[in-house]
C-alpha cells in the first residue's frame, strides 16, 4: 500500500486500554487534528488567564473537553496530550506545528505561550470510579498534597528553612480549605436537607465563592513551591499551570452532575487547566436526569447548561477515524508472521479482512467503495477485534489435499487434514461468537437482535429460507419463486431480496450485514469440511447441507436483468424467453438439438460414432448445465428424459411444406431432445450443476443410455455397456474430477455470501452499462451477451484476488477456480474456440426452438417441427 506524506499510522499492539503517544508521533497519529486543536485551545486559555488576572474578563473558561463516544480514543488523546505538556519539549512542539501547518513562521513564532509555561500535571482522575462519599474537589486537593509531600521527601525543601516553612504553611492551607469545604456541606445539609436542588445550591454563593477564592490563592502558592523546590526561580507564577485530567465523568450517573458542578464552581480559576474526556450525549443525559425533577423541559435545559459549563468553542470532537476516505494504516508489525515478506503497512479494511481470511478462510468482499460492515467503528473496537483474531491459530493447507467423493476413505488418507480441521473448527466458533455478540449486539435494534438470535439457532439449511420470508414480510411482496414451476428456495433469491429490502428500508441494512456475516462463516465451514474431512459420511453430509443452503440458483430472479432484450422479438414463439433469467419459464421449449443434417446410415454404431464426433456430447452437457430444474419430476414424468428421433423432410407437394433443408439437401435429420414442460434456464445455472456434477452427469448419461437403447432397440447387456463406455469416453466428467481435485467444486464462491452478493451487484451494474434500457441485440448476439456476463464476473474475481494478495492454496484463488472450471474453459477460456460455433448454434436452437445453420454467406433460421403434444 503506497502511503502519502500525511498518512496516519495506527498501532494496535500492546495492552488493552488507552494508548499513550509521544509528541514525536503526533504528526502521523490518527489523532493529529485533535492534538493540534488541543495546543491551540491551551494557548488560548493561558492568554485568557492572564487577561482575567488583569481584570479584563470577569469569568474564566478554562475547561477543554475531549468529546466522543465510547472507544473513539478521547482518553488516549487527553492523556497523551497532557503527558506532552508534563515533559514539554519546545523543539518537538515546534516540529509538530511546522509539520501540521506547513508554516515555518508559525512554528518559530515567539508569540506562542506554551514554551514559556511550566505545567504541573496531576495524576488522571477516573470520575466513574469515585465512590458515593468521595468528593472530586477533595480528590484534587489530595493529589496536589501528595505531589507536594513527594517533593518534600525527595529533598530540596528540607534543605532550606524558608522553603520548609513555606511548605508547611501551604500544607496548613490545604487543611483549612478541606475543613471549610466540609463545614459548607454540613451547613447546606442542615438548611436544605438531603434533597438539594441546583437552584437552592446557588443561593449559598457566599460560602462557595469564598471556597473558590481560597482555592484560587492556593494554586499559585502550590505551583510556586514546586517551582522553587525544583531549583527554578521564584516569582514566575504566571508561567506555571496546574493541569487536571478528569476522565469518564459522564459514566458516573449518580454523581456525574454534582462533579461537573464542583468543577464549574471551584476550579475555574487562573493558573488551572482542566481537561475532560466525556461523551456529549451521555453528559447531556446526566444533566437532564438532574433537572427532570425540577423543570418540565429538562432536555433543553440540560443542553443549555452543558453549553455554559463546557463552551462549544473549547470542545475537541474526536474524529470518526475509521470512516472512508481516511488515509489510516496499521503498523505492519501487528500482522505478526502472516505477511512478513511485505514491508508495507495496511489500511483498516486490509488488516481486518486479511486477518479473518488467514484464520478462517472466510473471504469477505474487499473491493467495495463503502466501508465494509465488518470494519470496526472505533479504535477500541478495532483493537479488541484484532486481539480476538490474533488469538486464533493461523490455518495452513500445507500438506493437505482435497478428497474426491468417489475415493474410499479407507484407502486414501491425508494426515495433515486432521490438524487443519481441528484448528478451523475452533476458529470458526470464535468468529461466530464475535458475529453473534459484538457485530449483532452493537449494530442491531432490540427487535432485530431478537430475530437474529432466533435465526442463529435455526438449522443452517433453513436459515436462508426463513430470512427470505422475513424479507417478504418487510417489503410486502409475494415470493419470487413458485413451487408449481419447479423452482424452490435458492440463495440467489435471498441475495435479490436483500438487495431490494436494503433499498426499501435503510434501517434493515445492519440485519442484512449480520445475516451475510453469519451465512458466510457457516457455509465456509461446511465447504472446508466437504473438501478436507477424512470421513466420507462427514464430507457428503457437509456438501449436502451446503448445497441445500444454496438451493437451485446463485442468482435467482436477478438473472432476468443480466442480458439485453432482442431488437426483434416477433419470431420468438409465445412463452419462450429472450433472456436466460432464473424465472423466465421456457414453457414451449422442447430443447431440440440438431445432431446431424444428413445421416448416411441409421444404426447404433453410426450414432455412437456421431455422438463422439465433433464433441457433440460435450456440447450437449455444456448446454444442459444451465438448466436449473434438472431432475425435477412433473406429471409427465421425470424432467430428465431424452428422446432421439429422425425427422424426414416433407413432400415437395405438401402445401405447408417447411423449408427444413434447401432442396439440394434433401434427406433426414437426427435430433436429441431434452423434454420438459417447464424448462428454466439460468445464466449461472452451471454453478450449481458444476457443484453437483457427479449427480448431473449420472442422470444425463442414464437418460441418454435409455434414449439410445429405445431408439435402436439395444437391450443386451453388452450393447448397454458399449453405449455407457462411449458416453464416458466423450464426456466432460473426467475434466470435472481433475478440476475439483485442484480447485474444489465451487465455480463461484457461493460459500462467501457477502462476496457473491457484491460481485453479482457489480456484474449487474456493468451489464446495464453495456446494454442500457431500450438497447437490444439480435438473436444470434444473445449467446455472446451471455459470454460477456461470464467475462464480467471473471474481472470481479480478479479484483477480489487482487485484494487478497497472498493465497493459501489453488482453490483460494477465486479467479483460478472459476477460469479452470470445464464449463468456463469451453465458453470463455482456453478451449473456447474448440466449441464456440457449435455451442452458439445449439444455444439458439434450445432457447428459440430454431435449428440454426451457418454457411459462408448468410444465417438462416429453420423451423423444427414439434412432435410432442403440449409443446
- The pLDDT tens digits of the residues spanning 834-844 come to 989 888 877 77
Same domain, 591 and 543: no
pLDDT at 479 over 50: yes
Distance in angstroms (rounded) separating the CA atoms of residues 428 and 431: 5
When mean pLDDT is compared across 99-108, 574-583, 861-870, the lowest value belongs to 861-870
- Are 544 and 564 in the same domain? no
**Cα–Cα dist 44/594, whole Å:** 88
3-state class (DSSP) for residue 421: helix
Residue 571, domain extent: 556-651+661-863
Residue 184 has pLDDT above 90, yes or no: no
In a domain, 193, yes or no: yes
pLDDT of residue 574: 38
- Same domain (yes/no): 632, 757: yes
Residue with cell 462463516: 521
295 and 440 share a domain? no
Contact 526, 460 (CB under 8 A): yes
Q: Which of 185-199, 242-256, 532-546 has the lowest mean pLDDT?
A: 185-199
In sign, the C-alpha dihedral spanning 662, 665, 667, 673 is negative
Q: Are residues 95 and 219 in the same domain?
A: yes
Count of other CB atoms within 10 angstroms of residue 99 = 16
Instruction: Determine, yes or no, domain membership for 602.
Output: yes
Q: Give the confidence band of 302 by pLDDT, cuts at 50, 70, 90.
A: confident
How many domains are contained in the chain?
3
C-beta of residue 49 within 8 angstroms of C-beta of residue 258: no
Q: What is the mean pLDDT of residues 96-101?
A: 85
Q: With CA atoms as reference, report the closest residue to 169 among 157, 180, 181.
A: 157
Q: What value does the mean pLDDT take over residues 16-42?
A: 84
By CB atoms closer than 10 A (0-12, 13-18, 19+), residue 206 is exposed
The rounded mean pLDDT for the chain is: 77
pLDDT at 470: 93
Rounded percentage of the chain residues whose pLDDT exceeds 90: 30
Are 549 and 460 contacting, i.e. CB atoms less than 8 angstroms apart? yes
- Nearest C-alpha neighbor of 440 from the set 465, 424, 457: 457
- Please tell me the predicted confidence (pLDDT) of residue 735: 96
The CB density around residue 806, as the number of other CB atoms within 10 Å, is: 12
Structure letter (DSSP) for residue 781: G
Residue at which a domain ends, from 525, 550, 575: 550
Residue at a domain's end among 299, 317, 335: 317
Q: What is the pLDDT of residues 626-635, one digit of tens each?
A: 877 655 443 3
Same domain for 478 and 516: yes
pLDDT exceeds 60 at position 830: yes
Domain-embedded: residue 158: yes
Q: Are residues 283 and 414 in the same domain?
A: no
Long-range contacts of 112-115 (CB under 8 A, 24+ apart): 112/43, 113/43, 113/46, 113/47, 114/39, 114/42, 114/43, 114/46, 114/88, 114/90, 115/88, 115/90
Q: Is residue 763 part of a domain?
A: yes
Query: 234-264: per-residue pLDDT in tens?
Result: 444 457 899 999 998 888 888 888 889 889 8
Stated pTM of the model: 0.76
Does any domain span residue 525? Answer: yes
Any domain includes 17: no
Report the distance separating Cα 345 and Cα 114, nearest Å: 34
One domain, residues 134 and 178: yes
Separation CA 64–CA 312 (nearest Å):
9
Q: Please indicate, yes or no, whether residues 523 and 644 belong to a single structural domain of this protein.
A: no
For the ranges 63-67, 406-410, 499-503, 513-517, the lowest mean pLDDT is seen at: 406-410
Give the pLDDT confidence score for residue 583 in this predicted structure: 31
pLDDT, mean of residues 696-718: 87
Q: Which of the residue ranges 137-151, 466-480, 567-581 would you say has the lowest mean pLDDT?
A: 567-581
Average pLDDT of 590-608?
A: 59
Interval 751-777 mean pLDDT: 89
Higher pLDDT, 590 or 50: 50
Angle (CA) 372-374-379 rounded to 5° is 100
DSSP annotation of 232 reads: P
Query: Which of 550, 573, 592 marks a domain boundary?
Result: 550
pLDDT at 818: 96
**SS3 call for 596:** strand
What's the pLDDT band for 642 if we cut at 50, 70, 90?
Answer: low
576 and 519 in a single domain? The answer is no
pLDDT band at 121 (very low <50, low <70, confident <90, very high): very high
Residues contacting residue 797 through CB under 8 Å, at least 6 positions apart: 748, 759, 814, 815, 818
Q: Which residues contact 79 (CB under 8 A, 6 or more apart)?
A: 18, 20, 124, 245
The answer to whether residues 524 and 587 belong to one domain is no
Q: Does the residue 801 lie in any domain?
A: yes
Task: Give the per-residue pLDDT at 747.
Answer: 96
Q: Is the pLDDT of residue 222 over 50?
A: yes
At what angle are helices 717-730 and 693-712 packed, to 10 degrees? 130
Whether residues 523 and 580 share a domain: the answer is: no
Q: Is the pLDDT of residue 265 over 60?
A: yes
| Residue 325 located in a structural domain | no
How far does Cα 297 stand from its chain's mean position? 42
Amino acid at each position: 500500500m503506497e502511503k502519502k506524506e500525511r498518512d496516519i499510522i495506527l498501532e494496535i499492539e500492546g495492552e488493552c486500554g488507552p494508548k499513550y503517544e509521544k509528541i514525536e508521533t503526533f504528526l502521523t497519529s490518527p489523532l493529529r487534528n485533535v492534538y493540534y486543536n488541543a495546543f491551540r485551545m491551551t494557548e488560548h486559555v493561558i492568554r485568557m488567564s492572564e487577561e482575567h488576572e488583569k481584570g479584563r474578563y470577569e469569568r474564566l473558561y478554562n475547561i477543554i473537553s475531549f468529546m466522543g463516544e465510547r472507544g473513539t480514543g478521547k482518553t488516549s488523546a487527553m492523556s497523551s496530550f497532557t503527558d506532552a505538556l508534563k515533559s514539554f519539549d519546545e523543539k518537538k512542539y515546534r516540529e509538530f506545528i511546522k509539520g501540521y501547518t506547513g508554516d515555518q513562521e508559525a512554528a518559530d513564532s515567539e508569540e506562542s505561550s506554551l514554551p514559556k509555561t511550566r505545567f504541573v500535571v496531576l495524576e488522571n482522575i477516573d470520575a466513574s470510579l469515585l465512590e458515593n462519599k468521595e468528593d472530586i474537589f477533595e480528590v484534587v486537593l489530595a493529589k496536589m498534597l501528595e505531589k507536594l509531600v513527594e517533593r518534600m521527601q525527595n529533598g530540596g525543601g528540607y534543605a532550606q528553612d524558608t522553603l520548609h516553612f513555606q511548605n508547611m504553611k501551604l500544607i496548613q492551607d490545604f487543611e483549612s480549605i478541606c475543613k471549610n469545604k466540609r463545614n459548607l456541606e454540613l451547613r447546606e445539609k442542615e438548611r436544605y436537607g438531603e434533597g438539594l436542588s441546583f437552584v437552592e445550591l446557588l443561593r449559598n454563593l457566599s460560602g462557595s465563592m469564598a471556597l473558590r477564592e481560597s482555592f484560587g490563592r492556593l494554586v499559585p502558592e502550590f505551583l510556586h513551591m514546586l517551582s522553587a523546590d525544583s531549583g527554578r526561580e521564584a516569582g514566575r507564577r504566571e508561567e506555571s499551570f496546574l493541569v487536571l485530567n478528569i476522565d469518564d465523568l459522564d459514566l458516573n450517573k449518580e454523581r456525574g452532575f454534582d462533579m461537573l458542578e464542583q468543577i464549574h464552581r471551584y476550579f475555574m480559576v487562573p493558573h488551572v487547566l482542566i481537561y475532560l474526556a466525556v461523551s456529549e450525549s451521555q453528559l447531556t443525559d446526566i444533566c437532564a436526569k438532574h433537572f427532570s425533577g425540577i423543570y418540565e423541559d429538562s432536555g433543553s435545559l440540560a443542553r443549555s447548561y452543558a453549553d455554559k459549563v463546557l463552551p462549544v468553542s473549547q470542545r475537541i470532537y474526536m474524529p470518526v477515524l475509521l470512516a472512508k476516505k481516511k488515509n489510516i494504516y496499521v503498523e505492519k508489525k501487528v500482522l505478526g508472521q502472516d505477511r512478513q515478506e511485505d514491508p508495507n503497512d495496511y489500511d483498516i479494511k486490509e488488516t481486518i479482512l486479511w486477518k479473518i481470511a488467514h484464520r478462517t478462510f472466510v473471504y469477505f468482499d474487499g473491493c467495495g467503495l463503502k466501508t465494509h460492515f465488518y470494519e470496526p467503528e472505533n479504535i477500541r473496537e478495532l483493537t479488541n477485534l484484532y486481539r480476538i483474531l490474533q488469538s486464533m491459530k493461523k490455518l495452513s493447507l500445507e500438506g493437505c489435499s482435497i478428497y474426491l467423493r468417489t475415493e474410499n476413505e479407507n484407502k486414501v488418507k491425508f494426515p495433515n487434514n486432521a490438524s487443519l480441521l481441528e484448528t478451523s473448527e475452533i476458529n470458526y466458533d470464535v468468529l461466530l461468537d464475535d458475529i453473534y455478540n459484538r457485530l449483532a449486539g452493537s449494530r442491531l435494534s432490540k427487535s432485530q437482535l431478537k430475530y437474529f438470535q432466533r435465526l442463529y439457532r435455526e438449522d443452517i439449511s433453513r436459515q436462508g429460507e426463513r430470512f427470505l420470508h422475513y424479507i417478504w414480510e418487510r417489503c410486502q411482496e409475494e415470493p419470487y419463486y413458485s413451487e408449481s414451476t419447479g423452482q424452490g428456495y435458492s440463495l440467489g433469491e435471498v441475495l435479490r431480496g436483500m438487495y431490494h429490502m436494503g433499498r426499501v428500508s435503510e434501517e434493515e441494512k445492519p440485519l442484512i450485514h449480520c445475516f451475510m456475516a453469519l451465512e458466510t462463516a457457516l457455509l465456509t465451514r461446511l465447504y472446508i469440511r466437504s473438501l478436507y474431512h477424512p470421513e466420507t459420511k462427514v464430507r457428503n453430509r457437509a456438501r449436502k447441507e451446503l448445497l441445500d443452503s444454496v438451493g437451485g440458483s446463485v442468482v435467482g430472479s436477478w438473472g432476468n436483468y443480466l442480458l439485453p432484450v432482442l431488437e426483434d422479438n416477433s419470431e420468438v414463439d409465445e412463452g419462450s424467453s429472450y433472456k436466460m433469467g432464473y424465472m423466465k419459464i421456457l414453457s414451449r421449449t422442447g430443447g431440440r438439438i440438431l445432431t446431424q443434417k444428413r445421416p448416411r446410415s441409421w444404426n447404433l454404431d453410426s450414432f455412437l460414432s456421431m455422438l463422439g464426433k465433433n464433441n457433440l456430447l460435450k456440447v450437449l452437457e455444456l448446454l444442459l448445465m444451465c438448466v436449473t430444474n434438472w431432475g425435477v419430476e412433473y406429471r409427465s414424468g421425470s424432467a430428465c428424459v431424452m428422446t432421439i428421433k429422425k425427422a424426414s423432410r416433407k413432400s415437395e407437394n405438401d402445401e405447408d411444406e417447411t423449408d427444413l433443408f434447401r432442396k439440394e439437401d434433401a434427406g433426414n435429420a437426427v435430433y436429441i431432445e431434452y423434454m420438459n414442460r417447464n424448462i428454466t434456464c439460468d445464466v449461472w445455472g452451471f454453478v450449481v450443476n458444476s457443484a453437483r456434477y457427479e449427480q448431473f452427469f449420472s442422470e444425463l448419461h442414464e437418460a441418454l443410455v435409455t434414449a439410445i437403447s429405445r431408439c435402436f432397440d439395444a437391450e443386451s447387456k453388452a450393447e448397454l455397456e458399449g453405449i455407457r463406455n462411449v458416453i464416458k469416453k466423450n464426456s466432460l466428467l473426467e475434466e470435472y474430477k481433475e478440476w475439483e481435485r485442484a480447485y474444489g467444486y465451487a465455480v463461484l464462491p457461493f460459500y462467501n455470501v457477502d462476496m457473491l452478493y457484491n460481485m453479482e451487484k457489480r456484474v449487474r451494474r456493468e451489464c446495464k452499462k453495456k446494454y442500457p434500457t431500450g438497447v437490444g441485440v439480435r438473436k444470434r448476439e444473445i449467446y455472446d451477451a451471455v459470454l460477456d456476463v461470464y467475462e464480467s464476473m471473471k474481472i470481479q474475481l480478479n479484483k477480489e484476488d487482487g485484494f487478497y494478495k497472498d493465497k493459501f492454496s489453488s482453490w483460494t484463488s477465486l479467479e483460478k477456480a472459476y477460469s479452470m472450471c470445464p464449463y468456463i474453459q469451453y465458453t470463455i477460456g482456453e478451449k473456447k474456440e474448440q466449441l464456440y460455433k457449435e455451442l452458439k448454434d445449439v444455444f439458439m436452437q434450445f432457447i428459440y426452438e430454431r435449428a440454426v445453420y451457418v454457411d459462408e454467406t448468410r444465417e438462416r433460421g429453420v423451423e423444427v417441427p414439434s412432435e410432442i403434444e403440449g409443446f
